[in-house]
């Protein structure tokens, strides 16, 4: 079987000599791979001229819906992906992390895109900046898609998730992608890409695949392109220093393997629940994906007086995790992805043994269930002990990318913090502690050296996703050795593929550019009450100026009785006068809010279906008994919403800017209300 690439709308098997690929369990050949014959310059051009424009014509919400539909389609193809995933040596739980975890990332970004981004093609980043005294010259930051191609170079350990966690924010941003998986397991990536292309849901040119080498691809990169890399630090540094990357100032995001640590808190004793949770997590991170995770625990730090107990407990836990063919019942750990990894891990273990002793596992003598260790790519769980972590550098410098971990003692929390930093930057660290003061000291001490930290105790362990599981909601990356990059992190990840531009101009002009009303922009009025207009009929910036209402003592007394709010500033004239903020009795802020609603709400039935929420409420000046208030209600932003079910009304969310004034035209309150407004059918 020839593993194919997908370029310019066609599948290519490559020509010339090809690299053989093998089943990690049986050692049998599963196919060959070569990218020879691909025109890499044309692939980039195709992405920029075909895929990019197609994606940029879509709004963020349309792209988000695309992600959801692709994810649903992939769910229907899981069985065939599971079958191929087994060739990589993955257990069922390993496969779930890779296949289902990747699909879930698409679902998460779909939801966040629809909730947190506008149904538009421009994303507004932050609030308006006032740049002039009178407010006629203002600033705003906007983000728009880059007009190049995103090149994603992925590692062998997660052929599906590694691709999808990058594609989700890339597609949501509106940028096409060229995916280059590691050759060792590219046959699984190829299978998933085939399913994605067959779905017909992704615009032509938005997704291309290179199985094999990248040839001269880097020679044709330009300033609008983005490159992301996951893999070894040495390879990442080589790519990052490529002349095209440097001369064109191309965005390069690197996520490299690191020496992640797990710390047993100084407060935790054997027998405590946190001790058991710690032991289970260390063993799990050593054996899930056979330790082939960039986030796996490589260094385990324990209090000196609990060292022996911790090592014995971890050894016992590892002994309960059989190594072998994942298809055999009871096997919980599979092989490495290929024979080259076995040799690599063995060499690294030899280096680590120079700094300490082997306390569990023997690379030269181990049992394999249901498979031939001479044919498959098996490597046993290996636990080492280093008694001089500040004198021996190997545990902090050498990474065995497999089921290998080194246990080291610390005398104090300050020592633990210093030891964690010796890794020179990690993707993730974890702490098991029942003492929140210990948690604070460790977290603040090691945060500068870690991209993510997980703090576990009995309160959260039941729902924890684990030390080694990056989540689409949170950033994935780390400083120093970990590459200095950052992926995912919710909408933060989307912005990596967009250009942030500072706009300057009049509020009215920027309102039209951004499709969001800004303070100081024109506020035209109409004779028809805005609550009597359908979603499509409302214009950004159109404003209702209400009639006036004088606040009476009876209003304040009745509101206190209805709400139960008898705060002295509303009810006690002497105490209110002594308050340094108020001069006399003041109306309740929430009465002002309620009275304002009475001023701008239209009582008759109409297109407005419901009040959807209230944001950014500020009471800027007190309203006293006898003051007269009025409002300006301005259509600030419109977001069309899709039906969740056929029975739901066709509607959109309208954000209204509300400003409440007193009789001297001084602003006394500002906020944003959200209403659900009916859209016209058809």
Residues that are catalytic: 255, 294
Enter the tokens of residue 408: 């080291």
For residue 24, how far is the Cα from the chain centroid?
31
DSSP 50-88: IIHHHHHTS-HHHHHHHHHHHHHHHHTTHHHHHHHHGGG
Planar angle of CA 609, 65, 85, nearest 5 degrees: 145
Buried b (16+ CB within 10 A) or exposed e, 546-564: beebebeeebbeebbeeee
Pairing type for strands 628-641 and 651-661 reads antiparallel
Enter the tokens of residue 380: 């046993």
For residue 281, how far is the Cα from the chain centroid?
23
Planar angle of CA 90, 95, 99, nearest 5 degrees: 140
**299 contacts: CB under 8 Å, gap ≥ 6:** 259, 260, 261, 262, 395, 396, 405, 406, 408, 419, 420, 423
- Rg (the chain; Cα; Å): 30
Enter the tokens of residue 232: 């070894």
Q: What's the full length of the chain, in residues?
A: 682
Tokens 């016992």 map to which residue?
316
CA nearest 368: which of 401, 406, 330? 330
Give phi and psi for 617, each to the nearest 5.
-70, 130
Strand order of the β-sheet with 138-145 is: 123-130, 138-145, 498-505
The Cα–Cα gap between 511 and 355 comes to 64
SS3 535: helix
């Amino acid at each position: 079987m020839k593993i194919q690439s997908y370029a310019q709308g066609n599948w290519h098997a490559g020509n010339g000599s090809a690299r053989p690929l093998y089943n990690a369990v049986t050692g049998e050949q599963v196919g060959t791979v070569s990218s020879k014959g691909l025109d890499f310059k044309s692939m980039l051009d195709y992405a920029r001229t075909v895929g990019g424009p197609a994606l940029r014509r879509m709004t963020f919400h349309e792209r988000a819906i695309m992600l959801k539909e692709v994810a649903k389609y992939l769910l229907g193809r899981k069985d065939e992906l599971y079958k191929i995933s087994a060739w990589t040596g993955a257990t069922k739980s390993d496969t779930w992390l890779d296949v289902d975890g990747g699909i879930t990332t698409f679902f998460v970004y779909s939801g966040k895109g629809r909730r947190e981004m506008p149904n538009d093609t421009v994303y507004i980043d932050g609030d308006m900046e006032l740049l002039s005294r009178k407010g006629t010259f203002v600033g705003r930051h906007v983000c728009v898609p880059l007009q190049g191609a995103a090149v994603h170079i992925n590692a062998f350990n997660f052929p599906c998730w590694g691709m999808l966690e990058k594609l989700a924010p890339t597609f949501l941003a509106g940028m096409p992608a060229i995916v280059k998986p590691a050759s060792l397991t590219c046959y699984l990536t190829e299978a998933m890409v085939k399913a994605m292309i067959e779905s017909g849901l992704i615009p032509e040119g938005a997704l291309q695949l290179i199985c094999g080498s990248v040839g001269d691809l880097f020679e044709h990169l330009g300033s609008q392109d983005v490159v992301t890399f996951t893999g070894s630090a040495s390879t990442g540094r080589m790519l990052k220093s490529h002349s095209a990357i440097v001369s064109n100032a191309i965005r390069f995001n690197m996520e490299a393997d690191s020496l992640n640590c797990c710390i047993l808190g100084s407060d935790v004793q054997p027998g405590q629940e946190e001790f058991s949770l710690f032991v289970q997590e260390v063993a799990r991170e050593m054996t899930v994906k056979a330790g082939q995770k960039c986030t796996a625990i490589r260094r385990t730090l324990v209090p000196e007086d609990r060292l022996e107990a911790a090592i014995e407990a971890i050894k016992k836990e590892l002994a309960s995790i059989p190594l072998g063919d994942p298809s055999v019942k009871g096997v919980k750990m599979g092989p490495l992805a290929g024979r080259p990894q076995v040799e690599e891990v063995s060499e690294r273990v030899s280096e680590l043994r120079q700094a300490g002793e082997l306390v569990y596992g023997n690379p030269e003598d181990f049992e394999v269930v249901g498979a031939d260790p001479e044919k498959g790519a098996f490597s046993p769980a290996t636990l080492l002990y280093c008694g001089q972590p500040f004198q021996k550098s190997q545990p902090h410098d050498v990474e065995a990318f497999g089921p290998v971990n080194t246990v080291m003692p610390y005398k104090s929390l300050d020592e633990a913090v210093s030891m964690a930093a010796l890794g020179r930057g990690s993707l993730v660290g974890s702490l098991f502690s029942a003492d929140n003061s210990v948690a604070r000291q460790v977290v603040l001490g090691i945060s500068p050296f870690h991209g993510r930290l997980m703090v576990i105790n009995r309160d959260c362990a039941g729902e924890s996703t684990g030390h080694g599981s990056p989540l689409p909601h949170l950033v994935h990356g780390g400083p120093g050795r970990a590459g200095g990059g950052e992926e995912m992190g919710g909408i933060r990840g989307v912005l990596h593929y967009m250009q942030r531009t500072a706009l300057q101009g009049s509020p009215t002009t920027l309102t039209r550019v951004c499709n969001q009303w800004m303070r100081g922009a024109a506020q035209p009025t109409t004779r028809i009450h805005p609550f009597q207009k359908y979603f499509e009929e409302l214009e950004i910036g159109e404003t209702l100026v209400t009639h006036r209402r004088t606040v009476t003592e009876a209003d304040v007394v009745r509101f206190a009785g209805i709400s139960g709010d008898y705060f002295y500033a509303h009810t006690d004239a002497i105490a209110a006068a002594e308050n340094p903020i108020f001069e006399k009795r003041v109306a309740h802020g929430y009465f002002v809010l309620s009275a304002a609603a009475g001023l701008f709400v239209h009582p008759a039935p109409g297109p407005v279906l419901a009040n959807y929420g209230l944001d950014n409420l500020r009471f800027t000046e007190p309203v006293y008994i006898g003051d007269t208030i009025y409002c300006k209600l301005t259509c600030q932003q419109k977001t069309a919403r899709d039906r969740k079910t056929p029975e739901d009304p066709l509607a959109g969310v309208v954000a209204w800017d509300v400003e409440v004034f007193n009789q001297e035209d001084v602003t006394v309150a500002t906020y944003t209300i959200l209403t659900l407004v009916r859209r016209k059918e058809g």
